[in-house]
Structure 1
Amino acid sequence: MAEVPDPEIPMGLFQDVEDLKAEVARLTAQVKTLTEDTDTDAGKAFTDDDSAAGVETEEEGQFPPFILLLDPPEYDYELRALIEWVEGVLVPGYLGEPSADARWCHLWFEHTVAIARLHALWLAWQELTDPATCGYTGPSVWHRDHLDPCMRELRLSSGPFAGCTKGEHQIDHRMPGIVPSAWSLTED
Structure 2
Amino acid sequence: MADEDRPDPSFEVPVGMFQDLEDLKATVKALEAQVKTLTEGADTAASEVFEEGEEDAAGDAEEAASEEDEWQYPPFIMLLDSPVYDDELRALIEWVEGVLVPGYLGEPTADQRWCHLWFDHPVGVIPRLHALWLAWQELTDPATCGYTGPSVWHRDHYDPCMRELRGSNGPFKGCTKGEHQIDHRVPELVPSAWKMEEAGEG
TM over 0.5: yes
Q: Deviation at 1:59?
A: 7.2
Q: Deviation at 1:30?
A: 7.2
Question: How far does the alpha carbon of each residue in 1:95-123 deviate from its partner, in whole angstroms, 9 at most, with x for none?
Answer: 00001110000000111211111000000
Structure 2 letter corresponding to 1:160: P
Q: Distance in 2 between matches of 1:31 and 1:154?
A: 53
Distance 1:95 1:30, change over 3 A: farther
Which of 157, 163, 169 matches 1:158?
169
Which of 52, 55, 67 matches 1:32?
55
Distance 1:36 1:138, change over 3 A: closer
Q: Does 1:102 align with 2:112?
A: yes
Sequence identity percentage: 74
Q: Distance in 2 between matches of 1:29 and 1:125?
A: 42
Unmatched runs of 5 consecutive residues or more in structure 1: 1-27, 44-54, 170-188
Select the structure that is richer in helix. 2
Q: Distance in 1 between matches of 2:54 and 2:81?
A: 37
Superposed structure 1 runs of 4+ greater than 6 Å apart:
none
Q: Distance in 1 between matches of 2:55 and 2:177?
A: 63
Distance 1:30 1:76, change over 3 A: farther
Q: Which residue of 2 aligns with 1:42?
A: 63
Q: Which moved more, 1:150-159 or 1:59-68?
A: 59-68
Structure 2 letter corresponding to 1:72: S
Q: Distance in 2 between matches of 1:96 and 1:29?
A: 61
Q: Which residue of 1 aligns with 2:160?
A: 149
Instruction: Indicate the SS of the match to 1:136.
Output: coil
Q: Distance in 2 between matches of 1:97 and 1:156?
A: 14
Greater RCO (CA < 8 Å, at least 6 residues apart):
2
Instruction: Indicate the SS of the match to 1:97.
Output: coil
Q: Does 1:138 align with 2:149?
A: yes
The alignment's TM-score, normalised by the length of structure 1, stands at 0.61
Q: Does 1:73 align with 2:83?
A: yes
Structure 1 letter corresponding to 2:56: T
Unmatched runs of 5 consecutive residues or more in structure 2: 1-50, 181-202
Question: How far does the alpha carbon of each residue in 1:97-155 deviate from its partner, in whole angstroms, 9 at most, with x for none?
Answer: 00111000000011121111100000000000000101000000000110011011100
Number of corresponding residues:
128
Q: Distance in 2 between matches of 1:109 and 1:59?
A: 30
Distance 1:134 1:29, change over 3 A: farther
Q: Which moved more, 1:138-147 or 1:111-120?
A: 111-120
Question: How far does the alpha carbon of each residue in 1:161-187 deviate from its partner, in whole angstroms, 9 at most, with x for none?
Answer: 011112324xxxxxxxxxxxxxxxxxx
Structure 2 letter corresponding to 1:70: L
Q: Distance in 2 between matches of 1:92 and 1:36?
A: 47
Structure 1 letter corresponding to 2:63: A
Distance 1:150 1:36, change over 3 A: closer
